[in-house]
Amino acid sequence: MAKPKGSSGAWLKEHFDDQYVKMAQRDGYRSRACYKLLEIQEKDRLIKPGMCVVDLGSAPGGWSQVAAMLVGHHGRVLASDILEMDSIAGVEFVRGDFTEQEVIDELMAHLGNSKADLVISDMAPNMSGMRDVDQPQSMYLCELALDMAGIVLRPGGSFATKIFQGEGFDEYMRMLRGRFSKVVTRKPAASRPRSREVYLVATGLRA
């Protein structure tokens, strides 16, 4: 996430003093974001052994790392990002913009005749610090993630996405409730209190 000019030094100090950054380094996780998914998992039990999970906007790989650990050897994780991501055991990675047909086709080729049990997305735009710019971009990514979930998820499947509270949030929540049987909002402890980010967890995709 981009920081306003002049604040980068303070942000870096806060970042490296952050307990979750230190925990990630200690526990061998790729990012502090791992603890957000772990807390969601503790509450909602989204990921079970043997599942097929699709991770959108996966780099640097924190959520893929957690998902691979939870699905185990009999499960699979398919990750995609426009950025490169270092390999993770048990994770298949497709680099590219998943809004492009070529990348969608590659993702579908990896899935073969199967469907995903869960789609997860921790995507966020490069923040400018201007809400009128950042919020529409964030909502656009959430809509893209939901569109992809509609393509790859099996009936009854689940979806979890990061979203920023603001314009478009309520409408997006209504869309989710129309497509899934249950939708809850989560604010993990690892999500900085001042941040407008929350996570929407939707289960039971309607056929």
CB of 40 closer than 8 Å to CB of 70: no
Confirm or deny that 61 is annotated as ligand binding: yes
**How many C-beta atoms surround the C-beta of residue 89 within 10 A?**
9
CA-based torsion, 91, 96, 100, 105: positive or negative: negative
Among residues 70, 71, 67, which one has the least CA distance to residue 79? Answer: 67
Confirm or deny that 63 is annotated as ligand binding: yes
Distance of CA 71 to the CA centre of its chain: 16
Confirm or deny that 97 is annotated as ligand binding: yes
| Enzyme catalytic residues | 162
In degrees and rounded to multiples of 5, residue 31 shows phi and psi of: -160, 165
Confirm or deny that 9 is annotated as ligand binding: no
As to burial, measured by CB atoms within 10 angstroms (0-12 exposed, 13-18 middle, 19+ buried), residue 168 is: middle
Confirm or deny that 11 is annotated as ligand binding: no
Query: What 3-state class would DSSP assign to 96?
Result: coil
Q: What residue numbers does the annotated binding site for S-adenosyl-L-methionine cover?
A: 61, 63, 81, 97, 122
Q: What residue numbers does the annotated binding site cover?
A: 61, 63, 81, 97, 122
